[in-house]
Structure 1
Amino acid sequence: MKNLIIYLFLLLTVQGFSQQQNQIEAKISNQGKTIEVVQHIQFLNTTTNDLLELDFNDWNYALSTKKSAIANKFSDEYNRSFHLSSKKERSTTEIHQISDSENSVLEYYRRESQPDILHLKLKNPLKPNQMGTYTFSYTVTLPDAKFTKFGWYNENKIILKNCFLSVCSFVDGKFTNQSENNLDDCTTNYADYFIKISTEKPYFITTDLDELTKTDNQLTLKGINRNTFSIVLETENSYESFNNEHVKAITNIKSKNLNEYSRVILIDRITTFVAQNLGQSKQEKIVVSNEDYEREPFYGLNELPAFISPFNEDFIFELKFLKTYLNNYLYSQLHINFRKDHWILEGIQHYFIKKYIDEFYPDMKAFGKLADFKILKGYKIINMPFSEQFLYNFLLMARKNLDQPIGYDKDLLIKFNEKIAGKFKAGLLLNYTSSLLKEGEFDSKLKEFIALNQVSKHVTRENFYQLFSSDSTANFWLKNLVEKDEITDLKFKKRKRKNEVIEFEITSSHDYKLPFTYALYKDKKLIERVQDTIIKSKKLSFNQKQYDYIELNDQNLLPEWDNKNNFKKFKTNLTGNKPLKFTFFKDIENPKYSQIFFVPTGEFNFYDGILLGMRINNRSVIDKPFTFSLTPNYSTKTNTLAGSTGFTYTKNYKNSGFFNTRYGLGLTRMHYLPDAFYTKITPSISFNFRNKDLRKNEGENILIRQVYVYQEKSAFVKQQNENYSVFNLRYNYFKSELVNQFSYNTDLQIANSFSKLSGSIGYRKLFENNRYITLRGFGGFFMYNDNKSSNFFSFGVDRPSDYLFDYPLLGRSESTGLYSQQFVYGEGGFKSKLNQRFANQYIFTLNASLNIWNWIEIYGDIGTYKSRNLAPKYVYDSGIHLNLVQDYFELFFPVYSSNGFELNDKNYGEKIRFVVTLSPKILTSLFTRRWF
């Protein structure tokens, strides 16, 4: 009765603030894993039509099934934690009853395609301007917090966020139904919350809601006009409170070597900075948790190993707190759709992160104190200003042709764009827009936008664009760069001299008005910086004795695709417009130099031994269209030189399923026998296609190449094909994610002595019970084959002969010994070595494997093949597969095959097959498939 009186009093006192109200009574039990909930939700129909259904967010339910949107996202990003989790680690929402104000029991349903949205059927239509009250009785089982950082950590720590039902955002008479996607962007209509929490044991409770009453095991909370809230329950309090005239900041972000006084000073500076630039927080309390930071860290800062410690403790703490505080402040202030217009929050956040660093740390370098080491002075990546990394994080994706418009819904962005590049790009865009306006005008308009959100229930990007309607150029560019995925690039086209006058022609990638700046230098000093505009092209004339060089967009305010072509000397010398710069290892692009990199390399094969060398190339950290590489290696076993060289040119295509065209020429020279080299020369062209929806890791590839092979004669083999040329046409299709992987390819080869056609198809499926099956089929036949006495060009049953030198074989010519046991996934795919190991007419095989526990699998292969003048063979094998690191290190133990029971063989050790890859590209791909 007492609680009912409290609720009634609260409802009466805040009736005018919100059209929705939530009363939640939550009893936490089962060591914090389970919550019994009774929830009363009031909803006002603001339309002119009757409502027959209401829609509710039930994001807790999203982690109950492997068919939800968040489960699909985990699969797309190869996140194994959820799909391999047990049922007790996942969540559920069990609805007991839903009733209306007349105590009529209501029906509800969920759509299979969107199970975390609950659709409530009303018995009595909700009339225009009518308030409806609905009571929900349900049980919440919290998910393990390892999935999203929210939920159940252990019996001593629980974080409640988005675990209770809430009305879906209701705009213009329609519900906006957005599923949980691990984006922390639940968009709901603002509501008043009154929450009573009961626990089995005492907890320290930290929340951004207001506390009304509190006992050891019970707490009553209030939140007025809120779109979200979080509640942290701990048996040992990890949070500290810091108060000033702007806000009460509650945080558990710690720093080992930073005392409380220093933390107070830094937090006061940050909260004051935000209040002065964006206005007072409408919430009295803002929680800034380490868990929030870990969900959205400052990438780069968090990747450096602790022993390097290039930044002071205060700077690291400051940046962590600043980024998280700005995020939570803006989330509480903005009334936007956080999924559709996420770039507004992220742009403002990163614009002010940059501004804060530029104001308080103007001399801070990207790698902090590492810039003090003389040996690193020549590296631009080390010595560039800290905030310049915003540009290069954006360029990293733009050069890979994986850039996406920041105006896309957030759940359409690939992981790297969602977490890193898109946020930095949004900050760069706002910084560029600021440069087009008078000093202070942009910041003033951002304050206006924040104020607009305080008086308007629903704010969109159109409201944001409208802020700059008085400046047509800023308005146009802001909207254009948000909505479209276009390449922006300025470059010098021509340079003419006449007497003492020099004329530069500048071109733009756009045919409409583009504001830009250029800087003029003399004796390495900035003489003048000019703001100008360009439409397609522009000519600039100067007295060539007055300046030494000109640089476009020298402050990188405009997010350009390529800034290497922004620099031009007035006079050239023997080194041309840009002098050569030689750098050990890698560096970021420096537009003032032509960079050559030297990267130490190490390789190994049985014939050359350890190959030590140096890769000489022009590949910086950021991709570029044209690259070359020269890698001379010293063979420690033969005391000779080996190595490779080549170049590629890549032409990307924007906004098209036609992803890019790549032209290449490669040359490799290595030993294929102890006393003989092979030389492979390969001119090639490939056409690459990728689904426009980059989140679907789906693509196609067409490769056309001519492979020329020259082999030295060897005393180790009597008969060999010394020199030959093969025309190769390949087509490959793939669609890959954690749960389902599917691919197929065809391969046509034509040479003087043979022609053959082959193809393979692969499928991998992860089932609900955490078992996965892998299937692969291969088939091929010769159209003609004049090699009557040799199997050199034949299909391999258990290992390809690799006459095109495509596979990373450690001992490619070995037929006995350890190196002959190396297995590669190609052609027949058998693991047992059969008596007849090649086919010179046709081959058809099927390979299958099924995991029985973690990385332990059983495999089986069946097939048929035929060679000239021999009867067709029907073969099989089976055994145990230890898939320790897929494609990197695997072991196969044959058990039973066409050879018989192989475990009885006294030389069984010689039958074990292994997969080993020494190339770092394989391990790199395990990372890139998660992010790109």
Structure 2
Amino acid sequence: MDQIKIDAQLDFAKKEIQIIQQITCYNLTGETLDTIYLHNWPNSYKDRNTPLSRRLIEDYDKSLYFAKKERRGHTDIKSISTDFVSDKWEIDKESPDIIKVLLTNPIKANDSVTVSLTYVVKVPDSRYTGYGTKNNTYNLRYWYITPATYTNKWELMSNLNMDDLYMHPANYTINFEVPRGVVLNSDLNSYKTNSSFNTIYHLSGEQRVDIELNISLLNEFETFKTDSLNVISNVNGTLLDHNLKTDIIKREVLFINKYLGSYPHKSILVNNVTYEKNPIYGLNQLPKFLNPFSGAFEWDIKMFKALTRKYLENTLLVNRRTDSWILDGIQTYLMIKYVEEYYPEVKAMGNISNIWGIKSSAMAKLNFNDKYPFVYQFAARQNLDQALATRADSLSNFNRKIVNKYKAGLGLRYLDEYLNDSIVTKSIKQFYTENTNQLCSSNTFKDIIIHKTDKDLSWFFGNYIHSKKKIDYTIKKIKKTNDSVYLTIKNKRNFTAPIALYAVNNKDIIFRKWLTGIDSTATIAIPKGDYKRLSLNYEYLYPELNLRDNWKNLKGLFNKPIQFRFFKDVEDPYYNQVFYNLYADYNLYDGLVIGPRIYNESIFKKKWLYKITPLYGTNSKKLIGSFSLVYQH
């Protein structure tokens, strides 16, 4: 196990950390190494030419590019040596946050080397990445130099504001000196000693990665004690008392332990920065003055997301730059399950869904968990989505922060429903318990789950993960005989996946049957029964491009009933929607022209759009208007 010892002293006025560090790392590559690499992410703020600065520009953030020198961060390296021998080291101009150390004495396989470093870190302003200093508070993450991880090659990566440094676990000993009266928060084992002017925090932890610290004049963190874990957090919430928050945290920890397993350390630090960089989208976009959600629900769901993120990132050591979907999927899956269990009645719009004039809309009827397929379908219809296996630094922010996380979680829920017998939940727990504090990947999870079922999962670990192909099936026609119903199902895309067929009577499910292997067209027979309609994906258990043509009515003229809605709404796949509103205009010849505007354009993109506007002119006494039919590719 690698050993990292750090003696650090914070100069509060200069916003600098003086560091003397020793890294004892082991050569487990199986070959002799004459070069090692270190990640120097504190130096990623040094000027406008760093990968971080360029990345922020791509995200339309010019704050670091135009920042004054005193607001930037950098690393001033005084010396680097190995086993007390000075070595040559290089920093590439294009990647100033990566150090290449040329070893005077190469390291043989299974031997170790101690790298000694002396350097000063200038702490950047927190406005760039959320980490740094602001108003006498220091949120420190990636604040020290770390050894690069070696798998079958050196896993080198620059800081791109994605909080995804791939680190090997190590045993830490840290002595951090701060001015007297300043508070330091961490989730390491700690005690402190005082002198006349300073306080030294003595921190230690085994098998740890990514040591995050908060240093401030005013302690905003609370410690929530549960039977198995102490949660140290400053996640913003409403005016909930400490006891209620503790009860919520206890429930969250029990839930996570049930689905994953116990956390390997005594404490976990959950900084509000973690949540703010990956918030609950939809929760923070609604107007606060409307109070759409209860204070308990809002804090619970925010805390649960931040807690699960830190829980997973601190224990499952996946390369999140190249293999991000597995942790994203597990976290979103846990979010879905948590809301299903404790908040099944909460709507996506919160209490706004009860307002007169809104509550009858399809949007108001969406449950909180319905936002996941809703957002994915929106991105897929607009062709904005990207494959789950896409490198994180090649994803758009929309996909990296939202769409791909949702698709990954929906994929695990899809597998859960298809495989049944709790195979997915058992596989997730086994994946966690067998790989805690170890380097692992999504292939590790794949090996676990495919050995728990005889069903073919190549479609999931192939097209679902590695392509942006969409699932889209339709019922083309039905034929009834005395005792059976024959239905022809067509695969409209080039993605063959399991699909769910339902027999429905007045929204009650009579039966559900999984169908596989339909790559083009297939006709199947089902027995007649007490049902009126047949539907594909009735419960929306898997993300599908188009749900509108998934219905056939056995006993009526229309496959779905017609529904009239005043103004545009989200799609309701259970109805043929017709939207209308009032149109009025004026011209000299016709005078006031007035009438209804009837159309089918919803929030989601459709191939065929129609608009009918019959109008009456009060001067001309004539019926006028317009009609349009548009095809959108």
Greater share of strand residues, 1 or 2? Answer: 1
SS in 2 for 1:473: coil
Aligned-pair distance for 1:34? 1.1
- Conserved in 1, the CA contact under 8 Å of 2:16 and 2:122? yes
2:410 and 2:336 map into 1 onto residues whose CA distance is: 9
- Conserved in 1, the CA contact under 8 Å of 2:535 and 2:552? yes
Match of 1:121 in 2: 102
Matches within 5 A, 1:680-695: none
Q: Relative contact order: is structure 1 or structure 2 higher (C-alpha 8 Å, sep ≥ 6)?
A: 2
After superposition, the Cα gap between the structure-2 partners of 1:507 and 1:160, relative to the gap in structure 1 and judged at 3 Å, is same
After superposition, the Cα gap between the structure-2 partners of 1:219 and 1:282, relative to the gap in structure 1 and judged at 3 Å, is same
- Conserved in 1, the CA contact under 8 Å of 2:41 and 2:159? yes
Matched, 1:467 2:451: no
Match of 2:467 in 1: 484
- Conserved in 1, the CA contact under 8 Å of 2:473 and 2:493? no
Aligned-pair distance for 1:613? 9.4
- Identify the match of residue 181 of structure 2 among 202, 207, 210: 202
- Conserved in 2, the CA contact under 8 Å of 1:616 and 1:630? yes
After superposition, the Cα gap between the structure-2 partners of 1:153 and 1:527, relative to the gap in structure 1 and judged at 3 Å, is same
After superposition, the Cα gap between the structure-2 partners of 1:545 and 1:472, relative to the gap in structure 1 and judged at 3 Å, is closer
TM (normalized to structure 2)? 0.92
Matched, 1:538 2:519: no
After superposition, the Cα gap between the structure-2 partners of 1:263 and 1:493, relative to the gap in structure 1 and judged at 3 Å, is same
Match of 1:828 in 2: none
SS in 1 for 2:317: coil
Match of 2:150 in 1: 170
1:30 and 1:259 map into 2 onto residues whose CA distance is: 32
2:436 and 2:450 map into 1 onto residues whose CA distance is: 21
Aligned-pair distance for 1:476? 1.8
Match of 1:551 in 2: 535
- Identify the match of residue 180 of structure 1 among 159, 169, 179: 159
- Conserved in 2, the CA contact under 8 Å of 1:53 and 1:121? yes
1:630 and 1:342 map into 2 onto residues whose CA distance is: 47
The letter for the 1-side match of 2:128 is: F
1:611 and 1:49 map into 2 onto residues whose CA distance is: 84
After superposition, the Cα gap between the structure-2 partners of 1:86 and 1:523, relative to the gap in structure 1 and judged at 3 Å, is same
Matches within 5 A, 1:470-619: 470=451, 471-473=453-455, 475-480=457-462, 481-498=464-481, 502-509=485-492, 514-536=497-519, 537-541=521-525, 546-573=530-557, 576-598=558-580, 616-619=598-601
After superposition, the Cα gap between the structure-2 partners of 1:379 and 1:498, relative to the gap in structure 1 and judged at 3 Å, is same
1:35 and 1:614 map into 2 onto residues whose CA distance is: 68
Aligned-pair distance for 1:372? 3.0
1:257 and 1:465 map into 2 onto residues whose CA distance is: 43
SS in 1 for 2:455: helix
- Cα distance per residue 1:423-469 (max 9 Å; x no partner): 111100011111122332321111110112137x3212211110122
Matches within 5 A, 1:377-392: 377-392=359-374
Matches within 5 A, 1:779-858: none
The letter for the 2-side match of 1:488 is: I
Match of 2:358 in 1: 376
1:388 and 1:164 map into 2 onto residues whose CA distance is: 41
Match of 1:329 in 2: 311
The letter for the 2-side match of 1:570 is: L
1:619 and 1:32 map into 2 onto residues whose CA distance is: 58
2:469 and 2:625 map into 1 onto residues whose CA distance is: 40
Counting aligned pairs with the same residue, the percent is 29
After superposition, the Cα gap between the structure-2 partners of 1:264 and 1:613, relative to the gap in structure 1 and judged at 3 Å, is farther
2:585 and 2:12 map into 1 onto residues whose CA distance is: 56
2:584 and 2:172 map into 1 onto residues whose CA distance is: 63
After superposition, the Cα gap between the structure-2 partners of 1:612 and 1:74, relative to the gap in structure 1 and judged at 3 Å, is farther
- Conserved in 2, the CA contact under 8 Å of 1:468 and 1:475? no
Aligned-pair distance for 1:289? 2.1
2:505 and 2:298 map into 1 onto residues whose CA distance is: 38
After superposition, the Cα gap between the structure-2 partners of 1:340 and 1:640, relative to the gap in structure 1 and judged at 3 Å, is farther
SS in 2 for 1:389: helix
After superposition, the Cα gap between the structure-2 partners of 1:112 and 1:583, relative to the gap in structure 1 and judged at 3 Å, is farther
Matched, 1:446 2:425: no
After superposition, the Cα gap between the structure-2 partners of 1:33 and 1:631, relative to the gap in structure 1 and judged at 3 Å, is farther
After superposition, the Cα gap between the structure-2 partners of 1:268 and 1:375, relative to the gap in structure 1 and judged at 3 Å, is same
After superposition, the Cα gap between the structure-2 partners of 1:495 and 1:374, relative to the gap in structure 1 and judged at 3 Å, is farther
After superposition, the Cα gap between the structure-2 partners of 1:29 and 1:613, relative to the gap in structure 1 and judged at 3 Å, is farther
Match of 1:239 in 2: 221
- Conserved in 2, the CA contact under 8 Å of 1:465 and 1:478? no
1:129 and 1:214 map into 2 onto residues whose CA distance is: 38
Aligned-pair distance for 1:151? 0.6
SS in 2 for 1:348: helix
1:639 and 1:322 map into 2 onto residues whose CA distance is: 63
- Identify the match of residue 357 of structure 1 among 332, 335, 339: 339
After superposition, the Cα gap between the structure-2 partners of 1:38 and 1:635, relative to the gap in structure 1 and judged at 3 Å, is farther
SS in 2 for 1:327: helix
- Conserved in 2, the CA contact under 8 Å of 1:205 and 1:234? yes
Greater displacement, 201-210 / 596-605: 596-605
- Identify the match of residue 416 of structure 2 among 405, 410, 434: 434
The letter for the 1-side match of 2:118 is: S
1:67 and 1:647 map into 2 onto residues whose CA distance is: 51
SS in 2 for 1:425: helix
The letter for the 2-side match of 1:464 is: F
Matches within 5 A, 1:237-316: 237-316=219-298
Matched, 1:213 2:196: no
Aligned-pair distance for 1:327? 0.4
- Conserved in 2, the CA contact under 8 Å of 1:150 and 1:161? yes
1:604 and 1:272 map into 2 onto residues whose CA distance is: 65
Matched, 1:193 2:172: yes
The letter for the 2-side match of 1:139 is: V
- Identify the match of residue 35 of structure 2 among 37, 53, 62: 53
For structure 2, list consecutive stretches of 5 or more residues without a partner in the other structure: none
Aligned-pair distance for 1:510? 6.2
- Conserved in 2, the CA contact under 8 Å of 1:394 and 1:425? yes
Match of 1:842 in 2: none
SS in 1 for 2:548: coil
- Conserved in 2, the CA contact under 8 Å of 1:436 and 1:474? no
2:77 and 2:625 map into 1 onto residues whose CA distance is: 67
SS in 2 for 1:163: coil
- Cα distance per residue 1:180-209 (max 9 Å; x no partner): 111111111111111111123421111112
The letter for the 2-side match of 1:112 is: K
Matched, 1:75 2:57: yes
Query: Which entry has the higher C-alpha Rg, 1 or 2?
Result: 1
2:630 and 2:235 map into 1 onto residues whose CA distance is: 47
2:601 and 2:93 map into 1 onto residues whose CA distance is: 47
1:649 and 1:304 map into 2 onto residues whose CA distance is: 34
- Conserved in 2, the CA contact under 8 Å of 1:90 and 1:143? yes
Greater displacement, 524-533 / 266-275: 524-533
After superposition, the Cα gap between the structure-2 partners of 1:633 and 1:459, relative to the gap in structure 1 and judged at 3 Å, is farther
2:537 and 2:432 map into 1 onto residues whose CA distance is: 30
The letter for the 2-side match of 1:436 is: Y
2:283 and 2:593 map into 1 onto residues whose CA distance is: 35
